[in-house]
A and B are shown apart, each in its own frame.
Chain A
Amino acid sequence: MTQQTDKKTAWWMLAPLLLIVLGAIGYPLIRTLLLSFTNARLTGYSDPIQFVWLENYWQAITNSAFRESAGRTTYFVLVNIGLELLLGVLVALLLNQAFRGRAIVRALLIIPLALPTVVSAIMWRWIYNPEFGVLNALLTQLGLLGQYRSYLGEPDLAMNMIILADVWKNYPIVALVALSALQLIPKELFEAAAMDGASAWTRFWRITLPSIIPALTVVIVLRTIEAVKVFDIIFVMTKGGPASSTRTLSFEVYQEAFSSLKAGSGAAYSYLVVLISAVLIFLYIWLLRRQERQ
């Protein structure tokens, strides 16, 4: 058992994973980068491929459709993550209280998480249905809505309704992480603070929140990385419509590469998404490593 053989074993044990990561993620990433400097077409193997260097990037940045989809993605991410954070913390605080049936109620959080995204998308699309949807019926019968609305048919409304559906599906992960962080806070801390006359409000801001913020930061960055990539829920619910009002960056890339068949500029579009993701991924890893050291 020398150090030397251990070192060799360590690498051999990693080899298959590294092969996959380098071959199926690293290599394609580089190929996409090269592709983004060309005018390649998806099916155009007969045309000669020419290097156009940064033209695709320039075209993307100056293209108002692309800029608008970047804006819509930003809106989607900010509102989505804000709501998930708010709802996640509130629900975690609620499920951390003592009440009858707590175990089973907590377990319900797994349902939205386990539900396949596409199923969640068709479910919400059916709920939002302008004629037969249950949301219109419910709001009208409660007297909150005078006239049936087309939730996914009005450009001003569609994105917000998709966000609500996505929040419902994904906030439980924030809640679960917050809940498990809450359970790690020593009870004596609250008791001592209460003895000192700290109000519930003060205890929340001074003890609860600071204790769960590290875990929350990690999960929020993780969710942001996911949200930037949003594609499936939009594909199923609106296909980017109405009037492009729900076209996000991933959708734009998909259209450019697989509908317009412009592989070159599609690759350039996707690399702009990579840049945004890379910043977030670095942030995520930095946070994780900082926690590991503590």
Chain B
Amino acid sequence: MNRVIALEVRSRDRRKPIRLVSSIALYTAVGLFVLLTLAPVLWLLLSSISSTNDLTNIPLRWLPNTWDFSRFTRLLDPNGQGREFVAALKNSLIVAVGATIISLLVAIPAAYSFSRFRGAQSQLLFVVLGTYMMPPVALVLPLYSILASVGLLNNVWGLLLVYCTILSPFTTWLLKTNFDTIPLEIEESAQLDGLSRWGVLYRITVPLALPGLSTAAVWALLLAWDEFFYALIFTSNINTKTIPVAIADFAAGRAVDYGLICAAGALAALPPVLIGFALQRGLMSGLTSGSVKG
């Protein structure tokens, strides 16, 4: 008798506990996701401001006894210990910004051409995309001797030019999918008013595509800031090494100061992560439209 009643009660309220259980499960999963995404980065930040004593304590102290913010000021002091790091920041900035600007100048007309003109040349889009995906190991030896023969080996401008070969096909691809979404009618009426194709591109299409252009620019900057292989091979001194190479050098050194490496990593990660976070909406749509819609 009792059991029957109990069963009835359970079946009447069945949905409620299930909803509770599933929402607990949902929030647990979300919490786990947040933890796994953030914990490694937070540990890097925490390590960068923990004193060396705390870092090398066994058993490990989760929160340091002494905070040490001095690594950041040391790293950013161009006259002292930070000489190499500041120089690398400067080199990375020149290479990333310069290569991004040149690549966009090349990619804007190319993307417009791919987007608006049908014909034999439009088939080249996939050739461009394919060559850009070639592994750098297959290009590095000839590029090395070309750079050496024109005196641009171990030179910031040489590296900048090499990066244009990666960034310009990539930004062309991103911009092409973006230009495809801009309606033709405005362009056509402008053409009837006597504007040339180049005029249409720079007076009409580019202003309309500004959000897409900024997305492409940010992706190009992130890509250039991140590049390691070419930078490792083509640069060898303080005047040319970029941030990734400088950090790899730091980490490979004999006298390892883990806190200092973490601080250098945190500083190097700050610009791309901040930019990525600020522009995440545009970045995601720019990126996924390329894969989802093709």
Contact = CB atoms under 8 A, between A and B. Distances in A.
Interface in B19-40: 23, 26-27, 29-30, 33-34, 36-38, 40
Given A20-B164, A176-B287, A177-B291, A115 B134 contact: no
Interface stretch (B4-12, B71-79, B207-215, B226-234): B226-234
B112 interface: yes
Contact of A17 (B43, B144, B172, B294): B172
A187 interface: no
B273 A115 contact: yes
Contacts of A110: 273, 276-277, 280, 283-284
A165 to B, nearest CB: 9
B137 A253 contact: yes
A258 B232 CA distance: 11
A127 B273 contact: no
Nearest to B55: A132
Given A17-B169, A277-B133, A285-B126, A35 B142 contact: yes
B220 interface: no
B95 interface: no
Interface in A223-241: 225, 228-229, 231-232, 235-236, 239
B interface bracket (residues with beta carbon within 8 Å of A): 35 or more
B141 to A, nearest CB: 6
Given A134-B43, A236-B251, A10 B138 contact: no
Nearest to B228: A232
B133 A117 contact: no
Interface in A1-27: 1, 6-7, 9-14, 16-18, 20-21, 24-27
Interface stretch (A57-65, A149-157, A214-222): A214-222
B181 interface: no
A161 to B, nearest CB: 13
B74 to A, nearest CB: 17
Contacts of A274: 134-135, 138
Main secondary structure of the interface of A (DSSP, over half): helix
A229 B135 contact: yes
5 nearest interchain CB pairs?
A114-B276, A13-B109, A31-B142, A137-B60, A10-B117
Interface of B: 23, 26-27, 29-30, 33-34, 36-38, 40-41, 43-44, 47, 55-60, 105-107, 109-110, 112-114, 116-117, 119, 121, 124, 126-144, 146, 161-162, 164-165, 168-169, 172, 191, 196-198, 201, 222, 225-226, 228-229, 232-233, 243-244, 247-248, 250-252, 258, 261-262, 265-266, 268-269, 272-273, 275-277, 280, 283-285, 287-288, 291-294
Interface of A: 1, 6-7, 9-14, 16-18, 20-21, 24-29, 31-32, 35, 42, 91, 94-95, 97, 99, 105, 107-119, 122-127, 129, 131-132, 134, 137, 140-141, 168, 173, 176-177, 180-181, 184, 215, 218-219, 222, 225, 228-229, 231-232, 235-236, 239, 249-250, 253-254, 257-258, 263, 266-267, 269-271, 273-274, 277-278, 281-282, 284-285, 288-289, 291-292
